Amino acid sequence: MSRLSASGLLVSHLPMFRWLCCLLVFAFAAMSNEVISASTHPFSITETDIFVTKSRAIMRLQMFAEDLVLFHELEANESDVVPASEIKRGLELHRDFLLERVTLRDARGELLKGHITDLQSFEIPEAGIATTDMMLHTAVYQIEFPFADPPEFLTIQQDLSDPDFVTPSEMKLSVHQTGSDLTFTDSMKAGAAVTLRFDWTETPLSEDASDEEWESWFAKQREQTLGIMSYSSVYSFIYIDPTELRHEVLIPLATLKTFLPIQHRDPSFIDIDEQDAVRELIRNWLKDVNPTTINGLHVNPEFTRIDLLGLDQKDMAANAEKRRTSLANGRVGIILTYHPSDRFVRAATVEWTRFHSTMRKVESVVIAGDKTLQRFEFSRFNKPADNTFAWECPPEFLPETFTPIPAETPPLPTITVPMLSFGLLLGAIVSSSVCYLLRSTGSLIGFGRISFVGLSAILLIVSACTREFGITVFRNPFKSPPLLATSDCQQLAEKLHARTYKALEAGAEAQILDSLATAVDGPLLEELYLQMRRSLELRDQGGAVARVTSVTYDSVDITQPTDITRSDGENSDQLSWPGFEAAITWTVAGTVEHWGHIHERQNQFEAVFAVEPANGAWKFSAMDLRSQKQKSQRTNVRRF
């Protein structure tokens, strides 16, 4: 189209063009007025200050007079003025409204009963207040919540909204603990909850504390809270062991409820009889959310644990008892376990494919073996490929394989006997003896005597000539067998004993028994395996078997006389050379880790082991467990 024809087209449609311009101007003006009006008061804002002492919490809420119109539908008159009587009615209604909609809960999620102790109202003119001036007036309500004991946790929840109020409210929160210079601040939307922890055992730091003091304070806080510093965040831990992969997730119940249809009778709690249904919802959700492969093959998860937890740190340190759980501050601890189709985990991938407005990302800590490997973030803002964590097994990660220890022993003392020469010599002696007897009786004369003498001489000569032939070796009954060096016996006993614990890393039970068989013989094999598993079980962790982190030997005493008598139940038998007994006292340290919390335990044992050759290899053949005691047990936090 030419420039002229284009101008002609514009002129011919000029009335329509003017109409469109006017429409745009009016639309922009309307938008501007709406923005200006919204900027004046976009939604209800309540400023809340909470002062927490050992015996009570004092809450002061400052609200605008306009909130009375929004929440209690105060009626303005024909002059667009809210009468004084209506305002007073609204202020009274707002008392119960605040007590119902702004709540404090304890560590178990139970409501703390509050009561209004003061109302600092604004001046109310007799003629009332114009609706356009309602934002110029504020009132302050004071609510007190008494405590029976100093609270370790408080959960603040606000729901200052109305079902017909399109724009939700916001609470500007400030919390201060008595004796502290620190103040916690937050901005809470309607329906939100925030949980805070209070330490009453030590004097809090001042704001001008040194960096070293702050680092020490944060480290102690992390230790006391078992690493859970935020009670509204999703925590993820990926544990990679040689024989399994575990993905452990800690997620707030309030977050789960935003996208799972959790059913519960009490609006604030999930009762015990409702929790199995919640677990089933979680299984159906998580089984497809994080596809996992091991050694290139997709693996379905085994849901080892789904625990509904409260704020009590003991819930994280041990199996939590079943009890109703608060939606405001409850959490769900989930453990998904994946096993390889073959023996070991050599490569693995973990994905997270589904996100929500309340769970835009999942920050994970990946731990391979007993070392922290790295952090990884799954996020809805990542590309799909960036939401896949991949891991390759380093060569030193896999457990070592064992072969039997050859039984190399010093030779027994022996006697060497030339049997042929000895036989000929014996023949010569017999021949001479017969000759002597016959001669003494007069029965042997002449040629006969010469024959016996000649025979004896020949036998003696041949015996002397054959002394290097027909040699037979016998054990010397007059000498004791040589004893092994005590230091060698100690090293051998420790090596066999350490191997029994290393065998536990071999994988499935069949592989463990195969590895154990390189150090243990006979019926003791299964007996020792079961005894070791029992000693490493942490019953407060659901019977989980601890990973052995160290074995130290307090003493190894060797006894090896040839007449050792050992006791096997009711029977006694002899431990023959080159066997020996090792009385070992050792301490084994083991850990079980869940959600970044390391449960450590040390046990000390004393036992006597019989060490003997079996099929050409040194092995334990018997064990007499003398004592077992626990030295220490504690819960620690994984440090990154």
Model confidence at 26, in pLDDT bands (50, 70, 90)? very low
Concatenating the DSSP letter of every residue in 355-424 gives: -BTTBSEEEEEEEETTEEEEEEEEETTS-GGGGEEEEE--GGGSPPP--PEE---PPPPEEEEEHHHHHH
Residue 514 dihedral angles phi and psi, to the nearest 5°: -65, -45
For residue range 402-443, list pLDDT tens digits in order.
888 888 877 766 777 676 677 767 776 776 676 666 666 666
| Lookup result for tokens 């290393």 | 502
Give the residue from 468, 459, 415 showing the smallest Cα distance to 434.
Answer: 459
How far apart CA 112 and CA 145 sit, in angstroms, is 6
pLDDT, residue 606, reads: 94
How far apart CA 264 and CA 277 sit, in angstroms, is 10
Model confidence at 293, in pLDDT bands (50, 70, 90)? very high
pTM: 0.68
User: Under 8 Å CB-to-CB from 76, ≥6 apart: which residues?
Assistant: 69, 82, 131
3-state SS, residue 598: strand
For residue range 457-468, list pLDDT tens digits in order.
776 776 677 767
Enclosing H/E stretch for 185: strand 183-189
Model confidence at 264, in pLDDT bands (50, 70, 90)? very high
Starting at the edge strand found earlier in the chain, the sheet holding 115-120 runs 115-120, 138-146, 56-64, 45-52, 170-177, 183-189
Q: Provide the β-strand partners of residue 241.
A: 244
For residue range 189-230, list pLDDT tens digits in order.
888 888 888 888 766 666 666 767 656 655 555 554 444 556
Between residues 66 and 509, the one the model is more confident about? 66
For residue range 295-316, list pLDDT tens digits in order.
999 999 999 889 998 876 566 5
Average pLDDT, the chain: 79
CATH number of 486-637: 3.10.450
Q: Can you give the residue ranges of every domain in the chain?
A: 40-205, 235-397, 414-475, 486-637
Q: What is the mean pLDDT of residues 623-631?
A: 90
Minimum mean pLDDT range among 27-36, 579-588, 605-614? 27-36
Strand (E) positions, 242-359?
244-252, 269-270, 292-294, 297-298, 302-309, 325-326, 331-338, 347-351
Q: Is the peptide bond before 42 cis (omega within 30 degrees of 0)?
A: no
Evaluate if residue 376 carries a pLDDT over 70.
Answer: yes
pLDDT, residue 338, reads: 94
Q: What is the mean pLDDT of residues 280-298?
A: 92
Give the residue from 163, 134, 164, 149 showing the smallest Cα distance to 63.
Answer: 134
% residues pLDDT > 70 (the chain): 73
Model confidence at 164, in pLDDT bands (50, 70, 90)? low
For residue range 574-589, list pLDDT tens digits in order.
677 788 999 999 999 8
Starting at the edge strand found earlier in the chain, the sheet holding 597-614 runs 405-406, 617-637, 597-614, 580-594, 547-559
Q: Are strands 45-52 and 170-177 parallel, antiparallel or unpaired?
A: parallel
Give the residue from 366, 368, 365 showing the smallest Cα distance to 396.
Answer: 368
